[in-house]
Structure formats: structure tokens, C-alpha cells
């Protein structure tokens, strides 16, 4: 069987792309929307002293702020109107997914189809506003606490800062939905993707500058390139990997005709949790260092300083906790988004069964058995991809711009977007064949 990459290459027809006007319009719309997003990351928030904030940000760039700044495309270090980015929406979506498995009312809405999803999406928007309000107010108060960052502290600044930051997040949420509806790919994912990729040119330039000055040897730079290509290939392989369970349907009789039983497959992704486990794990581990950074070093007790030192990048305790949290969240989030019992019930409802297992409880147990084992493989893959940059930083002292989490996001979004482009091309070719067949049929009728 051909691999996913080979199938994409064989189906991608550039002649069909040139004729697919609707696809080209969608791509141009997506590029235009992302350009608007990038422009917004350079519009500063009013009432901020840029020099004072840049100096304060440099002291905190190694904590959560540094990670959020990368996801926001540099908007945090410039304290732009999009400084909050799309992260409140991501957090609200994750919270809603967790609640749909706990709250019976939301679980019932999830099963109601399109109408239920619309209601859940509306709740997610409300949650985004609430989270953005809390985070924006916290940022405004934190900015006032800095030395000379806010030119005119007070409630007027706090209110204007909250309105600006919340408005920026809501605009990005709307922009992401527009990209999904009228563009190509998932809009929210593409906004995060654009924020991460925007810093790549400067990171590459910085690495080449280190090579020019002799701080890095040519061999090390070439080794970095080879490792990056190898890691990307591994991510592509594992993100496309599936365990397909054979599903059979019995023979059925319609009138006087007997139809043979069909067969299909239940695809179980090797990495069902996606990039959520690394994001959760890195956020929790960077949180103590960020909180301590806002405190004076003299006010921290000795034991707190010792723990913070052990939780630094490249430290054994940091790596061990990072790996353990990734594995935990991989299993936890997979259990939230995929319910073997519901899947088994749906198969039973449509008269489908897995050969050798009775429909219902036994089928659910088997699906859970398989899912647990492939999730373990997926969790180990996430640990290796996310810890490899940490080991390289610890061993060589080279600052890598793309960590495991950001690299996962970039590759995953690229694969999904290419798959959607392929789907539009196939649909366009199929419509063209239908039109040709109709024209031929019309000519024959004449």
C-alpha cells in the first residue's frame, strides 16, 4: 500500500490546480487573512513604554511568556494588540471538551449533531471572552507593577488595556473562523502556525551569524539541519500512522434481493491527543519560573531557589517531569476525546462488529485494549520529539528556536492543509468529469 506522502504526490495535479478557481480564491483569502494577522502583531497597545517593556520582557523570556510569545508571533515582546493571541480560545475549547465528558447536558448536546455543535461552539466563545477578560486584567495589573512600563497607571489604562487585548483575541477568533469557512485549512491552527513560522527567518539568520563569527562550526550547523529533517520525517510518519480495526457488516435483504455484507475499517490514530500533551506539560513546568521571575531573588526561600534551579531547561528533574507529564496528558486527553463504549454502541446500532468479538461490551473492551497500547507508543514518540531539543541544548548550548511542541504544530498543520488542498483538487476533478459525462450524454440524445 502506498504511503500517505506518495498518495498525495500522485493525486496532486498542477494542471487541475491551475483550473481550480475556487481553490485559488480560498488560498488568496487565507494568505490575506494571515497578512492582516501579522500586521496586527506590530500595532502597539496604547499607554506602554516600549523600551521599558522590552527590557522587562528579556528577563522573563525563558518562562511561559517566551512560549506564548512564540505562539503569538512576537506580539507579546512588542505588547501588541494581539498579545493575548488565540490561546484563550484554545484553552476554552479544551475546557469545553473536558466538560462534555463530565456534564450530562453538554454530553447530550454533543450527540445531537450539527445543532448541538453550534451550541457548544457558542459556549466556547463565551468561555473565550471570560478567559480573555481575566488574562487581560492580570496583564494590565502586571504591567503597572513594572518599573516605568506604563506611562500613566490607573483604571483608565486598565480598562483600555482590557478592551484592547480582549478585542484583539475576539478578532483573531473571528478571523480564524472566516479562514475555516472561506479559506483553506483550519483557521485557528493556521494562525498559530503563522505566528511560529514568522520567527524562523530571524532564527536561521541568527544561527548563520553564529557560524560566520565562529561561535558554531559548520559541522554543527549541518548536524542541526540533518537532525531537523530527520525529526520532521519522524513526525510525518507518526502523525499519519493508524491502527485500522476491521469492521464487518452482515448480509441484508432488501425486498427480494440479498446484498453481501460490507467491510470497513475503524481508524485509530497513533497520536490521538495531538499537540495538547506537550503544551500542557511545558506550560505547567514553566509556570513556577515565570512566577518566581516577578519576585525579587532575595525574597525567595532557599528551598524554592533550589527547586527552581532543578526545574531549569536541560536539568534531569525538568526532563523527567516533562516526560511524565506528556505521557499522563497523552492518556488523559485521549480518554476525553475518544470513548470506546460510545464507538462500540454506534457499531452495534449499525449492525457492525469486529470479527471474533461480540458487539457491545466485549467490542468496547477490545477497542480500549488496542487504544491503550497505541497511545503508549504515541506518548513515547511525543516524549522523544519534545526532549530531543532539550538534550541538544543541554549538550551543546545551542539555542533552538523550534522546540518539540512548535515543530509538532508546524508539521501537523502543514499536513492537514496539504490534505485539504488535495481534497479540493480531487473534488474539482470529479466535478469536471461529471460535467463532461453530462455533455456527452446530451450530445448523444440529440
Sheet strands (E) in 221-283: 242-248, 252-254, 257-259, 263-269
pLDDT at 10: 46
Q: What is the pTM of this model?
A: 0.79
Mean of pLDDT values over 372-400: 81
Contact of 329 with 280, CB cutoff 8 Å: yes
Question: In the chain, count of helices (H) and strands (E)?
Answer: 18, 4
pLDDT at 2: 42
The grid cell for 322 is: 516533562
Domain boundaries 24-199, corresponding CATH code: 1.10.3370.10
pLDDT at 165: 92
pLDDT at 441: 59
pLDDT in tens, 185-200: 888 888 988 888 887 8
How many CA atoms does the CB half-sphere of 187 hold within 13 Å? Answer: 22
Assign 109 a pLDDT band (cuts: 50, 70, 90).
confident
At residue 99, does pLDDT exceed 90? Answer: no
pLDDT at 252: 66
Mean of pLDDT values over 147-170: 88
pLDDT at 312: 66
pLDDT at 229: 86
At residue 11, does pLDDT exceed 50? Answer: no
Q: Round the average pLDDT of the chain to a whole number and report it.
A: 80
Q: Which range has highest mean pLDDT (236-240, 250-254, 402-406, 418-422)?
A: 236-240
Cβ count near 333 (within 10 Å): 20
Q: Which of 232-236, 360-364, 411-415, 434-438 has the lowest mean pLDDT?
A: 434-438
Tell which phi-psi region holds residue 247, choosing left (phi > 0), alpha (psi between -120 and 50) or beta.
beta
pLDDT in tens, 31-44: 999 999 999 999 88
Whose cell is 491502527? That residue is 243
Whose cell is 499522563? That residue is 328
The domains of the chain are located at 24-199
Residue percentage of the chain with pLDDT more than 90 = 14
Amino acid at each position: 500500500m502506498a504511503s500517505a506522502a506518495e498518495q498525495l504526490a500522485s493525486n496532486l495535479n498542477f494542471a487541475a490546480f491551475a483550473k481550480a478557481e475556487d481553490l485559488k480564491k480560498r488560498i488568496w483569502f487565507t494568505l490575506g487573512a494571515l497578512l492582516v494577522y501579522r500586521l496586527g502583531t506590530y500595532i502597539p497597545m496604547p499607554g506602554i513604554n516600549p523600551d521599558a517593556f522590552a527590557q522587562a520582557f528579556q528577563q522573563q523570556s525563558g518562562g511561559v511568556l517566551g512560549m506564548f510569545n512564540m505562539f503569538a508571533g512576537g506580539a507579546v515582546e512588542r505588547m501588541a494588540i494581539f498579545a493575548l493571541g488565540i490561546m484563550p480560545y484554545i484553552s476554552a475549547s479544551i475546557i469545553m471538551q473536558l466538560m462534555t465528558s463530565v456534564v450530562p447536558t453538554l454530553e447530550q448536546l454533543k450527540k445531537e449533531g450539527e445543532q448541538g455543535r453550534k451550541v457548544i461552539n457558542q459556549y466556547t466563545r463565551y468561555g473565550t471572552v471570560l478567559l480573555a477578560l481575566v488574562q487581560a486584567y492580570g496583564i494590565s495589573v502586571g504591567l503597572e507593577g513594572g518599573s516605568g512600563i506604563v506611562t500613566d497607571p490607573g483604571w483608565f489604562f486598565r480598562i483600555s488595556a482590557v478592551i484592547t487585548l480582549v478585542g484583539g483575541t475576539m478578532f483573531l477568533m473571528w478571523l480564524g473562523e472566516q479562514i475555516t469557512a472561506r479559506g483553506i485549512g483550519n483557521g485557528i491552527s493556521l494562525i498559530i502556525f503563522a505566528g511560529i513560522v514568522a520567527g524562523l527567518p530571524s532564527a536561521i539568520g541568527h544561527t548563520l551569524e553564529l557560524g560566520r563569527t565562529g561561535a558554531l562550526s559548520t559541522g554543527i550547523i549541518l548536524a542541526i539541519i540533518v537532525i531537523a529533517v530527520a525529526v520532521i520525517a519522524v513526525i510525518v510518519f507518526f502523525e499519519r500512522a493508524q491502527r485500522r480495526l476491521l469492521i464487518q457488516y452482515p448480509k441484508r435483504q432488501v425486498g427480494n434481493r440479498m446484498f453481501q455484507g460490507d467491510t470497513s475499517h475503524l481508524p485509530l490514530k497513533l497520536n490521538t491527543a495531538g499537540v495538547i500533551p506537550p503544551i500542557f506539560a511545558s506550560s505547567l513546568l514553566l509556570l513556577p519560573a515565570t512566577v518566581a521571575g516577578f519576585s525579587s531573588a532575595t525574597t525567595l526561600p532557599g528551598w524554592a531557589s533550589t527547586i527552581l534551579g532543578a526545574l531549569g531547561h536541560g536539568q534531569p528533574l525538568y526532563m523527567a517531569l516533562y516526560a511524565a507529564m506528556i505521557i499522563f496528558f497523552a492518556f488523559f486527553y485521549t480518554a476525553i476525546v475518544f470513548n470506546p463504549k460510545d464507538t462500540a454502541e454506534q457499531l452495534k446500532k449499525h449492525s457492525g462488529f469486529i470479527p471474533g468479538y461480540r458487539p457491545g461490551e466485549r467490542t468496547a473492551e477490545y477497542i480500549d485494549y488496542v487504544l491503550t497500547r497505541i497511545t503508549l507508543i504515541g506518548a513515547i514518540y511525543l516524549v522523544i520529539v519534545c526532549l530531543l531539543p532539550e538534550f541538544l541544548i543541554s549538550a551543546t548550548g545551542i539555542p533552538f528556536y523550534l522546540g518539540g511542541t512548535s515543530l509538532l504544530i508546524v508539521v501537523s498543520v502543514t499536513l492537514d492543509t496539504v490534505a485539504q488542498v488535495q481534497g479540493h483538487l480531487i473534488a474539482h476533478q470529479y466535478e469536471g468529469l461529471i460535467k463532461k459525462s453530462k455533455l456527452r450524454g446530451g450530445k448523444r440524445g440529440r
